[in-house]
Chain A
Amino acid sequence: MMNRTYVFEASYNSRLTSILRAINLEPVLFLSITLLSLVGLGILYSAGDASIELVQKQGFRLGLAFMVMVIVAQIPQQQLYVWTPWFFVLGIVLLLLVLIMGDVGKGAQRWLDLYVIRFQPSEMMKLVTPMMLAWYLSEKPLPPKAIPLLISAVLVIVPTVLIASQPDLGTSILVAAAGFFVVFLAGLRWRVLFAVVLAGLAFVPVLWRLMHDYQKQRVLTLLNPESDPLGSGYHIIQSKIAIGSGGLYGKGWLNGTQSQLDFLPERHTDFIFAVFAEEFGMMGAIVLLSLYVFIIFRGLYIASNAQDNFGRLLAGSLSLTFFVYLFVNVGMVSGILPVVGVPLPLVSYGGTSMVTLMAGFGMMMSINSNRRLLSR
């Protein structure tokens, strides 16, 4: 930008930031999320065969999600704290309902269909699980002792297993990660952490047994995508071709052949990063990833400055979960992680995960406002 306009923008921004603060929105986080969302709409336009219809739908959802964020940001942190156990119980009940009634067909989820957004209980658990752990651990002396740790483990494992058996591997990983981050940030001792990791590794063969065939296939395909070039390997191969052929500077917006000619599957949802990397190259990808990292660090900064353990642990966990979203998605699209259905946060087409994410950001803003209130 020109220097001339910079002055104007700065003054404009300062006016804007005071307005944002007045409605409990942390300006830096809010503006970077907005920027990311707009970039996302731009990529979506390209990924959706340059049809404005898809962008309009997504824009509408984004607007809705922003509204959710603004509303959640108005909820005092104390209120969130009070509601947390009830949300958790509600979430577990809904998950059980989905499991029991899932056999009936789609009827199990329809009553949660809010017409524009199909809200899934598992999505809700992405927020409620870290809330519950933060709620539980915030009352305990930190770092947590053995008994609270065990109870924390149960609080994480129950929703994780329920979601994994839907089956929804991607979401269950995110839920488990969110819960784990709370415990980690609460000061989980390193030796306990390593012991858990080792136990986890020992558990891998058992997990392998429990996995569905298509999930096993995804892992196998990751290890050698060329073994099944037309089947499950097709996604990874085409995605790698898209990213690789983008080169350093990319083929240009709307010019990615892999995406524009339909070679890239799921390109407006889970594989949208490949579209971006093909059209904007490695340079574009670095800029985009940097924007994500900036948002995450801003979240960690908010967490560090929170006034109590509940706020700290929740905001920290939500920030790190956001990172997991990013890493799992980019990792799977670029072929270093198996294909699990994790969207690129705020960019992939689809409503549910976006609302969850924005609600999470709303909570972080609420936590941030709580600090301001207390420090005032």
Chain B
Amino acid sequence: MSYGSSIGDSSSSSSIFKSRANVAAVICILMIVALFVRLGKLQVTEYAHFSDLSENNRVRLMALPPNRGLIYDRNGVILAENRPTFHLELIPEQIDDIDTMLKELSTIVSLSERNVSDFRNSMRTHRSFESISLRTRLDDVEVARLAVNRHRFPGMDITARLTRHYPQGESGVHAVGYVGRINEKELEKIDQGNYRGTSHIGKTGIERFYEDDLHGTVGQQKVEINAEGRILKVVDKIPPVPGNDLFLSLDIELQKVAEAALGEKHGSVVAIVPETGEVLAFVSTPTYDPNLFVHGISFAKYDELKASEGKPLFNRPLFGQYPPGSTLKPFIGLAGLETQTVTVDEKVKCKGHYLIADDETKRKYRDWKKRGHGISDMDKAIEESCDVYFYDLAYRMGIDRLHDFLDKFGFGQKTGIDLYGERRGLLPSRPWKKKVYGKKWYPGETLIMGIGQGYMLATPLQLAAATATLANKGMKVQPHLLQSIRSTETGEKEVFVPNESQFALRYPDHWNDMFRAMKKVVHGVSGTARATGWGMKYKMAGKTGTAQVFGIAQDEEYDEDTVARKLRDHGLFVAFAPYESPKIAVAVVVDNGEHGSWMAPIARKVMDHYLLKKDDKLSKGEHANDE
């Protein structure tokens, strides 16, 4: 026990210790207070800040994209739908040996090297519990094979996503349009909040025009996640509101009939119900498959479409601007009657050419018929499409009165159809020429305008709309493709109400005079489209037109054999039927189609289908079952 004695229990060292222990205790207290202050700063002063951070850690907002509204034609046939497409996805976390699995999967579905390398790349950027796409758009056989073998591949997933699909394929694409991936330019314009989770947007046609209605409202769910990002539970969910369904006035069967009637020709057919402005057919040929664009068209395929001679991507009825040619004559004739420049019975002698009385150049304005039409009144001039009669009429009426009257039919203006990018065409006038060319208007220009040539341009849609207004006796109805929108929320249909305006002739009898003259074009003994009128069960009123693509010199002959196809004349035909109470107005314009009279059968096929098979319930019933 040397221990006890070796260290003296001196009171001095004890008191030193006690004072030091007291100092230490005070320092401890101070440091603890410092910790309290620190905790107070974090937990009280900055509580709100850290509370937010903690919530942001924990809660993720996930967009639930809405299903796009469907598009139907007037008979309920589906034009645009959302189809589930199946994709093969793998969750690496659940797979023991990915290499073996990929090898075995490749015996069941076709996997390209690209698929596999893309998959491996995504594996690096995704977390192991996230599903990674291996193959997209599996076909039915592949889906079935995978489903049967599912037990062999734990961690494999077949996911279904809705993709826009156009079951009618090439038919109606220029009206319906298509959707495609949202590009940067569109990203700037759209409400990005509402497009969270949406990858596609309407690019053309109805899909673009009614994008807001079709898209719907995005929903969202609040999910709780852990530090890895794994979703643990859904905290809150606001379901998306699907887009509204559209019912178009388009009759897809009629559309197909018109497309078939045009065949290999490059051209357009527009059919309108005059009374309502409903567009029944909106055809541009050649056409293309919109489904190519939904998944992103390849550059090669796109170049091929662009370079194609028929320019399938070009929307002819909307963008194509043609000289209306003789199809303008009924409107010029009406203008003459209305302005009392001529009477119905007044006769003009046609010798095959026309000379302006005081013109020193003695320029000959030729008729399409070299020998001339002889003595012509209004009926004969329309029926046989006498140019001289209309040279004379236009000359006497003058450009101002001509312009003002044609303006009432909507020439030179947008029709207001529910599609973007519509062209105005061109209705020339004195002020227009002064403005654009800085020159005065020459009488000769009035003359050739009398036969729809010269500066005058119209789109096929404008021609159809003007013909409808004519058939309607001055009631101008805005042509439109949308018939109604069905709200997904209420299920109620909102009907499209077109703009309407009526103009009256001082002598309403002139409508009937012009109807009669136009009927003779199809049904008269010397009508330019009389071949088309044979055996028709209803009476059609129409007018042929041939528009010059390039001018012919004074005494030169137009020889169609030697002129290259793209320089040949455009063939036009406008018509409405039945003559007594018009139910349909049609404009046919065929690029380089040479003769308007050759276009009349196309219009007849459309009208036959619409007027004669319209009530055929059986065929309609079949469509309903098809879809």
Which residue from A187, A247, A258 sits with its C-beta under 8 Å from B43? A247
Answer yes or no: A334 CB below 8 A from chain B CBs. Answer: yes
Contacts known (A138-B7, A307-B9, A330-B35); A244 close to B21, Cβ less than 8 A: no
Most buried by B among A184, A309, A316: A309
Name the residue of chain B whose CB is nearest to the CB of A296: B28
Indicate if A297 sits at the interface (CB-CB under 8 A): yes
Bound form: Cα–Cα A243–B17 in Å: 37
Q: Name the B residues within 8 Å of A81 (CB-CB).
A: 3
Q: For the complex, what is the distance from the CA of A312 to the CA of B12, rounded to whole Å?
A: 13
B1: min CB distance to chain A, Å: 7
A68 at the interface (CB under 8 A from B): no
A143 to B24, CA, bound (A): 16
CA distance in complex: A309, B3 (Å): 11
Report if A248 contacts B (CB, 8 A).
yes
Q: Which residues of chain A in 135-149 are interfacial with respect to chain B, using CB atoms and an 8 Å cutoff? A: 138-139, 142-143
Within 8 Å of chain A (Cβ to Cβ): is B160? no
Which residues of A are found within 8 Å of B159, using beta-carbon distances?
none
Interface bin, chain B: 35 or more
Smallest CB-CB separation from A301: which chain B residue?
B21
A35 within 8 A of B: no
- Across the interface, A139 reaches (CB within 8 A) one of B7, B31, B227, namely B7
Please give me the residue from chain A that is nearest to B24 by CB atom. Answer: A320
Contact residues, A67-110 vs B (CB, 8 A): 78, 81-82
Interface string of B16-42 (1 = CB under 8 A from A): 111011001100110110111011101
Contacts of B55 in A (CB 8 A): 245, 257
The verdict on B49 contacting chain A, using a C-beta distance below 8 Å, is yes
Contact A257 B28, CB 8 Å, known A245-B53, A309-B17: no
Contact across chains for B43 and A327 when beta carbons are under 8 A apart: no
Whether A248 and B43, one on each chain, are in contact in the complex, defined by CB atoms closer than 8 angstroms, is: yes
Residues from 206 to 233 in B contacting A, C-beta threshold 8 Å: 224-228, 232
Main DSSP-derived SS at the A contact region: helix
Task: Given A78-B3, A244-B43, A334-B38, check contact A187 B227 (CB 8 Å).
Answer: no
Whether B54 lies near A257 (C-beta < 8 A) is: yes
Q: Is B50 at the interface (CB under 8 A from chain A)?
A: yes
- Mask, B33-73, CB within 8 Å of A = 1, is 01110111011101101110111011000000000000000
Tell which of A4-12, A168-176, A194-202, A280-288 binds the partner: A280-288
Q: Provide the bound-state CA to CA distance between A78 and B6, in Å.
A: 12
* In the assembled complex, A128 has its CB within 8 A of some CB on chain B: no
- Are A243 and B25 neighbours in the complex by a CB distance under 8 Å? no
Within 8 A of B (CB), among A302-334: 303-304, 307-310, 312-313, 316, 320, 323, 327, 330-331, 334
- Nearest B residue to A274 via CB reads B42
Determine the distance from Cα of A323 to Cα of B24 in the docked complex, in whole angstroms. 10
Given the contacts A185-B24, A257-B54, A262-B226, A244 and B49 also touching, CB distance less than 8 Å: yes
Interface 1/0 per residue, B233-268 and A, CB below 8 Å: 000000000000000000000000000000000000
* A246 within 8 Å of B (CB atoms): yes
B50 near A241 (CB under 8 angstroms)?
yes
- Given A187-B17, A327-B35, A330-B35, do A244 and B47 touch, yes or no (CB 8 Å)? yes
Verify if B121 is at the interface (C-beta below 8 Å from A): no
Complex contacts, A308 vs chain B, CB 8 Å:
7, 9
- Judging by beta carbons under 8 Å apart, are A241 and B39 in contact? no
- Across the interface, name the chain B residue whose C-beta is closest to A244: B50
Contact, CB under 8 Å: B227 / A262: yes
**Partner among A244, A293, A297, A312 whose Cβ is within 8 Å of the Cβ of B14:** A312
A344: interface (CB < 8 Å): no
Is A44 interfacial (CB-CB < 8 Å)? no
For B24, list chain A residues within 8 Å (CB).
Answer: 181, 184-185, 300, 316, 320
Q: A154 contacts the other chain (Cβ, under 8 Å)? A: no
Return chain B residues, CB-CB under 8 Å to A238.
57
Residues of A within 8 A of B490 (CB): none
CB-CB < 8 A to A262: which residues of B? 226-228
Known: A241-B57, A261-B225. A297 touches B42 (CB 8 A): no
Which of B4, B7, B43 is in CB contact (< 8 Å) with A243?
B43
Q: Is B13 an interface residue (CB 8 A)?
A: yes
Closest B residue to A142 by beta carbon equals: B13
Contact: B16 with A187, CB < 8 Å?
A: yes
CA distance A310 to B17 in the complex (A): 11
Binary flags per residue of A183-224, CB closer than 8 Å to B gives 1, else 0: 011110000000000000000000000000000000000000
- Check A258–B32 contact: CB distance below 8 A: no
Report chain B residues within 8 Å CB of A257.
54-55, 57-58, 224
- Contact assessment for B47 and A245 in the assembled complex, using a CB-CB cutoff below 8 Å: yes
Bound form: Cα–Cα A257–B56 in Å: 11
On whether the beta carbons of B39 and A243 are closer than 8 Å, the reply is yes
Q: How far is the CB of B2 from chain A (nearest CB, A)?
A: 10
Mask, B392-405, CB within 8 Å of A = 1, is 00000000000000
CB-CB nearest in chain A for B40: A282
Determine if A31 is an interface residue (Cβ-Cβ < 8 Å).
Answer: no
Residues A243 and B28 in contact in the complex (CB < 8 Å), given A78-B1, A139-B6, A261-B232: no
Asked if A151 is at the interface of the complex by the 8 Å CB criterion, the answer is no
A residues near B42, Cβ cutoff 8 Å: 240, 243-244, 334-335
Which residues on B sit within 8 Å (CB–CB) of A313? 17
Task: Give the chain B neighbours of A184 by CB distance below 8 A.
Answer: 20, 24
Question: How far, in angstroms, from A185 to B19 measured CA to CA in the complex?
Answer: 9
With A282-B43, A293-B28, A303-B21 known to touch, is A245 a contact of B9 (CB < 8 Å)? no
Q: Tell me if A240 and B50 are in contact (CB < 8 A).
A: yes
Chain B min CB distance to A313 (Å): 7
Nearest A residue (CB) for B59: A257
From B12, B13, B16, B32, A289 is in contact (CB under 8 Å) with B32
CB distance from B107 to the nearest CB of A (A): 39
Does B20 contact A241, Cβ atoms closer than 8 Å? no
- Is A156 at the interface (CB under 8 A from chain B)? no
Nearest CB to that of B1 among chain A residues?
A: A78
Bound Cα distance A262, B225 (Å) = 10
List residues of B (171-229) whose CB comes within 8 Å of A's CBs: 224-228
How many angstroms from the CA of A184 to the CA of B28 in the assembled complex? Answer: 14
Least CB distance from A304 to B in Å reads 6
Contact B28 A320 (CB under 8 A): yes
- Measured in the bound complex, the distance between the Cα atoms of B35 and A310 in whole Å is 32
In the assembled complex, the CB of B12 is this many whole angstroms from the nearest CB of chain A, namely 7
**CB under 8 Å from chain B, chain A span 245-304:** 245-248, 257-258, 261-263, 277, 281-282, 285-286, 289, 293, 296-297, 300, 303-304
Q: A257-B54, A261-B57 are in contact. Are A277 and B225 (CB under 8 A)?
A: no
CB of A119 to closest CB in B, whole Å: 28
Alpha-carbon distance between A179 and B317 when the two chains are bound, in angstroms: 96
> Per a CB cutoff under 8 Å, which of A187, A281, A293 touches B20?
A187
A193 → chain B closest CB, angstroms: 11
A354 within 8 A of B: no
B20 nearest in chain A by CB position: A185
Q: Cα distance A26–B39 when bound, in Å?
A: 32
Q: How far is the CA of A300 from the CA of B14 in the complex (A)?
A: 13
Are A258 and B54 touching (Cβ within 8 A)?
yes
A334 contacts B39, CB within 8 Å? yes
Asked whether, in the complex, the Cβ of B35 is within 8 Å of the Cβ of A243, the reply is no
A-B contact pairs, 21 of them (CB 8 A): A138-B7, A142-B16, A186-B16, A187-B16, A240-B50, A241-B54, A243-B39, A243-B42, A244-B54, A245-B51, A262-B227, A262-B228, A282-B44, A293-B32, A297-B25, A312-B17, A313-B17, A316-B17, A316-B21, A331-B35, A331-B38
Q: Which 5 A-B pairs have CB atoms at the shortest separation, nearest pair first?
A: A244-B50, A245-B54, A262-B227, A187-B16, A244-B42
Q: A243-B42, A257-B55, A277-B43 are known contacts; what are 20 more A-B pairs with Cβ within 8 Å?
A: A81-B3, A186-B17, A187-B16, A243-B39, A244-B43, A244-B47, A245-B47, A245-B53, A262-B228, A263-B57, A282-B44, A285-B43, A289-B36, A297-B25, A303-B21, A304-B17, A308-B7, A309-B7, A320-B24, A335-B38
The residues of B with any CB-CB pair to A shorter than 8 Å are 1, 3-4, 6-7, 9, 12-14, 16-18, 20-21, 24-25, 28-29, 31-32, 34-36, 38-40, 42-44, 46-47, 49-51, 53-55, 57-58, 224-228, 232
